[in-house]
Homo-oligomer: A and B are copies of this chain.
């Protein structure tokens, strides 16, 4: 195992959005220098980092430079091309999380197959490569079911509910007749999520569960630590650990869970990165998910995960960020703004952590 990277080392981050920004801030706090690779000039993360390389994520020259400049590289999003990871590693940088996590997270069918393989149950599903597959899947799983492209969907994009066999052809067209997966509807009471980390030495660190409330397919609020019984907590921790071990993972990973209300938890999806439902840790824990991820990537010991406060994290979407004036005057509200210039509808502009004692 490589030695922990000393402060003063340079870390690279692929992706200059808010997750890259908060990762960079955490890395700086630990004395690391940070270089961002992002196609956009002056990205939110680049503005708080020592360096930026403006290039596409598959630009071989840029990746070579980043790999030679940085002692370790990580990413803020899971759709990094596998070839890019190889180029970074060839430049000499440690890259984490690794290629197995990316391969699994980039393909919903691979993901569900992997999850069930490590005992992390999901909803029933069927691979869909044709309209016939879709009809057969609907027959087996029942309607309504949700049809999702296998690759490149997030925040509700690239997916459609199929409410009856009559809708199948339209749904198949709507997602572009691309390789897909059909998922049964989960009869869940609520969505929980768990943020967990694994270090280079295989050590594990798991945060208390959060309860998530979505609106329009986008996360609105996370309440954490969530009110859950001991059995649910134990089950969620076991799921997180099975996933981290199964992926030989290094870094922070987010797991979305359906709580069926009868003690059963199904994994909805995993994100091999820091996760929006873990933003509460910034103001609820001594070591937040961003620092935790940097610690793992740099080969440091993982930090503590106990909550010292109860936090309600609320995303500020689009022009909700205009509420900064009121939020800035709210005593228990800690504001985290991402520095994005344009408040397009639904765009994540910031979040607010409302902090209460446990």
Contact = CB atoms under 8 A, between A and B. Distances in A.
Interface of A: 4, 6-8, 21, 24-25, 28-33, 42, 47-50, 283, 286-287, 295, 300-301, 303-304, 308-309, 321, 324-325, 328-329, 331-332, 334-339, 341, 350, 355, 357
Contacts of A32: 339
B308 A332 contact: no
Given A339-B28, A339-B33, A304 B286 contact: no
Given A325-B4, A337-B30, A286 B286 contact: no
Nearest to A321: B7
Nearest to A22: B29
Contacts of A334: 286-287
A73 B335 CA distance: 21
Contact of A30 (B7, B24, B29, B335): B335
A257 to B, nearest CB: 27
A148 to B, nearest CB: 34
Nearest to A282: B29
A321 B321 CA distance: 39
B7 A25 contact: no
A328 B299 CA distance: 11
A29 B355 CA distance: 16
Contact of A31 (B325, B337, B357): B337
A339 B239 CA distance: 38
B341 A8 contact: yes
B8 A28 contact: no
